[in-house]
Structure 1
Amino acid sequence: MNGTTDDPTLHDRIELAYLPALADVREAVRVTLDAARWWRALRLLAYGAAALALLVAALELLLPGEPDPGTVAGMAGLGAAAVAAVHLMGWAVARAFFLSVRAQGEARAVVDAEGGRWAARDTEQVIRWAMLPRYAETDRLFVLLTPRKTGSGFAYLPKHGLADPADADRLRALLDRHSNRI
């Protein structure tokens, strides 16, 4: 041996090229939110508030005396609004993010032993593995996630951006070496 490292896994380099798609961004945001403790707590709080508001409305209707239509309608509306807000928040975040990346046109990503590099018309970003220690895989995407302590940042790699479908296995192996699957 000549003293150099000939481990082919150290030289893995996977390239992707893709047009941003709203469905990809929505799925990446959903995965990111589902992985965040604060989102689960917020969702639980919204459903709890909805249940409490509906309980107040039901009590108003069921207790003796004439029910106050304003209280019933207000509580039912509050409960519905809490549930709607929690469902629409992910969609709104995804839509805003998509509009910004769509304006950049085709995206290119390179993932290797160092981390990931994303480039588009007016932007370039390099993210090392220390900032993306977790990932999740869906049917459409690999979603790379920041550490829990830093919040809920993410990057995504759509499988349709791979040159060859077999590259998905190579990418999964690379991610498994440098990141933890959740």
Structure 2
Amino acid sequence: METRERLELVYAPAFDDVHEAVRVRLRATLWWRLLRWTAIGACLLSLAVAGLALLPPTPEPGTAVVMAFLGLVAVAVAELTPWATARSVFLLVRSQGEARAVVDADGGRWTSRDTEMAIRWPMLPRYVETPRLFVLLTATKSGSTGFAYLPKHGLAAPADVDRLREILDRHTTRL
């Protein structure tokens, strides 16, 4: 294996990285898009019912308030899901301290204080690049989408971003 085909990243866990990776992962799943549209639809429906509850001959302001509140709760829960998921993952990752990732022709290996994990490219055949991360995603055939992320700030030199992108393009598909 040539050295050009191997990169090492060293980074401290950051909530913003985990949050961005979770958002990318959720956007890659059909169920997440359905959940968000369902929440928006439920909100619109509840607001319509709230409006109807205020019409004469017997306006019911209490019902209108409850329906408007329920609609807003549906949207709030859907919109807070990425943050809550990221928070949960981040607390676990942060407890492990500094992380090291090695990416090469075989796949990726992540190590931290108490964990070591290797994932070969067939398990992570897709990736998304964001301004701060490369987010590696499992195939959609599994029914759910798993992920791993590689923060650009973990690379030793700015030129390594292009080298990492080349490795990923050689072994995975960019979304």
TM-score range with shorter-chain normalisation? over 0.9
Give the deviation of 1:66 after TM superposition: 2.5
Pairwise CA distance, 1:59: 1.4
Alpha-carbon RMSD: 1.3
Q: Structure 1 segments of 4 or more deviating over 6 A?
A: none
Q: Work out which of the residue numbers 99, 107, 130 in structure 1 matches 2:91.
A: 99
Counterpart of 1:110 (choices 85, 102, 105) is: 102
- AA paired with 1:101? V
Bigger CA radius of gyration: 1
SS state at 1:125 partner: strand
Partner of 2:154: 161
Q: Residue 8 of structure 1: CA displacement?
A: 4.5
Q: Name 1:4's counterpart in structure 2.
A: none
TM-score w.r.t. the length of structure 1 is: 0.92
What's the offset of the Cα at 1:68?
1.1
Gaps of 5+ in 1: 1-6
Distance, in Å, in 2 between the alignment partners of 1:45 and 1:148 is: 21
Using the alignment, how far apart are the partners of 2:172 and 2:47 within structure 1? 43
Q: What is the Cα deviation at residue 149 of structure 1?
A: 2.0
Q: Does 1:66 align with 2:63?
A: no
In the alignment, which of 18, 34, 48 is matched to residue 55 of structure 1?
48
- Count residues with an aligned counterpart: 174
| Cα distance, 1:69 vs structure 2 | 1.9
Question: Which runs of structure 2 are paired with 1:27-176 in the superposition (5 Å)?
Answer: 27-61=20-54, 63-150=55-142, 151-176=144-169
Q: For the residues of structure 2 that align with 1:178 and 1:67, how far apart are their CA atoms?
A: 63
Structure-2-length-normalised TM-score: 0.96
Corresponding letter in the other structure for 1:166: A
User: CA deviation digits over 1:26-77, x for unaligned, max 9?
Assistant: 000011111111100111111111111111001112x321211221011101
Gaps of 5+ in 2: none
Identity rate, percent: 64
SS at match of 2:164: helix
